[in-house]
Amino acid sequence: MGLRDRWHHGLAAGLGLHHEDPVVQELAGLRRLGEMVFELDDEIKNARAKAPERSFVRADAYYLAADVLVTFADAFVLDAFMDPNHPNHVPHITFLQAAQFYQAVPALVTAVRREVAYEGSGEAPLPVLPGPRLEAPGRCPVEHLLAMRRAAEKTEELLGTRIELLQREGADPAAIKTPVLMMTDARTAKASADAVLGLLTHHQHVPDEQHEEAERMYYDGVLRSYLYAAQELFLPGVTKKAPRSEDPPEEEPAEAQRPVTPFPHHHQAGAGMGGMPMGWGGMNPMGGFGGGGGGLSWGSLLTADLAANLVGGLMGGMFGGGMGRFR
């Protein structure tokens, strides 16, 4: 059974992935992409020492954004690698979200190295975005929320260390005011989401809306804010017009989309295609899993294809030979 078939099979069965699963073994190859980021800091430092008159702020911004995304992804899949003898449960949605983060790394590594060679030559778009929040059918597993909280904690530590370093190097307090305030707001958002997660981990009832809001808060209010703050440290104002969410717009329920008539008993059954009412419940053509009883959206099928092809072909054009060299 191929990767795509395995993913669909697991999704249909409502199963998660475990450490022994070949899909997770492939993810281990993606995870090793993150190791490339560790070399970039030294490359920037060496270039700065050789050409102190040059500006490397774009290289710094690309590098720290890549480091943040790798921190996110590593935290999302950390449980699958901590203890080979006792693998922990990693939900499908957590696996896919981590893969999306890892996917962005090679382009950012290339951008850093181009900037080191020639200022302004990095081609990756700025600001760097985390990508859309992926959703599971129904409620996301508690393990997924725990993964987002773990990613937030690791990233706060990473950025806190970087800010302390800049302060020791004599950074202008006004220059780091915006990212510091963004991180302050992110901590407040995290506290709100943590409160909901605390109820869930103690097996207390949480309404669906509150559960969904905690998921949004972790992803957009915390993780996205940290990624933006990382770039603001070096490129002030770069995220000023950046989206605060990449969630697709919610569709109205099918009932709300039907024409309203003053005489309901005269309404024709064939108002839609072959009698189907206009507006398919749960189908969201913009991506994610639709709610309200529908099946997979086209966007989620594209996400599945993305996950299926990450290992085999995504990086092939850039690194020559695809993922084989990382296995």
pLDDT digits (tens, 9 = 90+) for 195-233: 999 999 999 999 989 999 999 999 999 999 999 999 999
289-295-298 Cα angle (round to 5): 60
Q: List, in sequence order, every residue forming a beta bridge with 273; answer none if it has no partner.
A: 276
**Is residue 299 pLDDT above 60, yes or no?**
no
Q: Are 150 and 224 in contact (CB under 8 A)?
A: no
Token output for 215: 């998921």
**Is residue 193 pLDDT above 50, yes or no?**
yes
CA dist 224 → 28, 45, 116, 129 (Å): 24, 27, 26, 8
Quote the pTM value. Answer: 0.71
For residue 306, give the nearest of 49, 102, 29 by alpha carbon: 102
- Helices 92-103 and 298-309, interaxial angle, to 10°? 70
Of 88 and 37, the structure prediction assigns the larger pLDDT to 37
Write down the pLDDT at residue 23: 63
Average model confidence (pLDDT) across the chain: 76
